[in-house]
Amino acid sequence: MAVERKIMKVLNGETLSPPPVWIMRQAGRYLPEYRETRATAKGFLDLCYTPDLAVEVTLQPIRRYAFDASILFSDILVLPDALKRNVRFVQGEGPQMDPIDAEGIAKLDPSGMHDHLAPIYETVKRLRQELPEETTLLGFCGAPWTVATYMIAGHGTPDQAPARLFGYRDRASMMRLLDLLADMSADYLLQQFENGADAVQVFDSWAGVLDEDCFDAFCVQPMKRIVGKVRAVRPDAKIIGFPKGAGSLYRGYREKTGVDALGLDWTVPFSFAAELQKEGPIQGNLDPLRLVAGRDAIREGVDRILDALGNGPLIFNLGHGVTPQADPDDVGYLVDRVRGNA
């Protein structure tokens, strides 16, 4: 008899006590075993595209903490890499690529994408075989808007002004890029489902920099397109949307896009989160810096979330990714606190 995976139960609307827990960026630099594995790769993208290494780093936090979900180790920029945008990761500077303009957008060719991403699909397949039966396997991609911000600027910026300006000055080219990325993302997620992912999360890390009109055009509509295309093939596909920083624009996002669950960042007030939870599952939303601040801050934050949101469908998580400064032992304490063991 198949084991029921707790996170899948929550995504189906159930309330579990204690709630299942995983944390974003759980396979990362805060773990010494990750740093050791990372040192054996030629570069960050090599780590993502080498199944032996990607499987290993994905499994490391599961071995250590027995999280209720394991999320594929990869990066949101593998799609522009598949589009031959010369993606590279520069030590101390983050991701960089050749910036794109309207002429370049018109020439983008997604053919060959699945060949390029085949090693990632192999990683997903192997993960489902190697993970504990009870552990949910999450696939993921970056949302079109967030991926587009890097493609237009050629690097990360504090407020994504280059992409915002481009969107104001040439809406047609921006929508052409977002539609292409949405279609590629849907195909990419479908292949992850095909190879064993139980559910997927779409990270819109830069949703919070947009005004209401652009949020609808650049975040909501592309996400709706992704969900529609995935569900046309897999009607039962479970999708978590994470429009970080959306603030009051979280209201209506689930209904407009069709996502099953809302990932909430740490700035969302509990009163508002509880309203959103009445409409369906939510995920979040501990401030990642509490993991750096120590156990008193962790305990206080965990208890407040469980008190405020534990009586509805909740996946316990951070409000963004765990930081490299986090102590691995304190991450273990967080898991124990959520599960009532500390």
25 tagged catalytic: yes
Nearest to 222 by CA among 263, 186, 261: 186
Q: Mark 221-238 as b/e (b = at least 16 C-beta within 10 Å).
A: bbbbbbbebbeeeeeebb
Instruction: Exactly one of 5, 25, 225, 290 is catalytic; name it.
Output: 25
Element (H, E) at 129: helix 113-130
257 close to 277: Cβ distance less than 8 angstroms: no
Instruction: Exactly one of 30, 34, 68, 75 is catalytic; name it.
Output: 75
Give residue 217's identity as a one-letter amino acid code: A
38 tagged catalytic: yes
Which domains are assigned to the chain? 6-338 (3.20.20.210)
* pLDDT mean for each 10 residues of the chain (342 residues): 88 98 97 97 96 98 98 98 95 91 98 98 98 98 98 96 98 98 98 98 98 98 98 98 98 98 98 98 98 98 98 98 98 98 92
Nearest to 202 by CA among 215, 214, 219, 217: 219
136 close to 8: Cβ distance less than 8 angstroms: yes
What's residue 266's pLDDT? 98
Instruction: Exactly one of 38, 231, 295, 339 is catalytic; name it.
Output: 38
CA angle 205, 57, 208 (to 5 degrees): 5
Distances (CA, A) of 94 to 58, 77, 137, 156, 173: 21, 12, 27, 8, 26
Phi first, then psi, for residue 330 (nearest 5°) are -70, -30
What's residue 91's pLDDT? 80
176 tagged catalytic: no
Give the separation between CA 113 and CA 187, rounded to whole angstroms. Answer: 9
Tell me whether residue 2 is exposed, middle or buried, using C-beta atoms within 10 angstroms of its C-beta: 0 to 12, 13 to 18, 19 or more. exposed
How large is the angle between the packed helices 51-65 and 328-338, nearest 10 degrees?
60
Residues contacting residue 158 through CB under 8 Å, at least 6 positions apart? none
What's residue 1's pLDDT? 55
Structure tokens, 154: 């050629």
Residues contacting residue 292 through CB under 8 Å, at least 6 positions apart? 323, 325, 326, 327
Residues contacting residue 301 through CB under 8 Å, at least 6 positions apart? 286, 287, 290
What's residue 315's pLDDT? 99
The DSSP string of 12-45 is TT---SSPPB--TT-SSTTSHHHHHHHTTSSSHH
264 close to 245: Cβ distance less than 8 angstroms: no
Model's pTM, two decimal places? 0.97
Residues contacting residue 99 through CB under 8 Å, at least 6 positions apart? 151, 152, 153, 154, 162
337 tagged catalytic: no
The DSSP string of 231-267 is HHH-TT--EEEEETT-GGGGTTHHHHH--SEEE--TT
Strands lying side by side in the sheet with 314-318: 69-71, 136-142, 199-204, 239-243, 261-263, 282-286, 314-318
98 tagged catalytic: no
Q: Report CA 42 to chain centroid distance, whole Å.
A: 25
Torsion of CA 293, 295, 296, 302, to 10 degrees: 100
Element (H, E) at 329: helix 328-338
Instruction: Exactly one of 30, 34, 121, 150 is catalytic; name it.
Output: 150
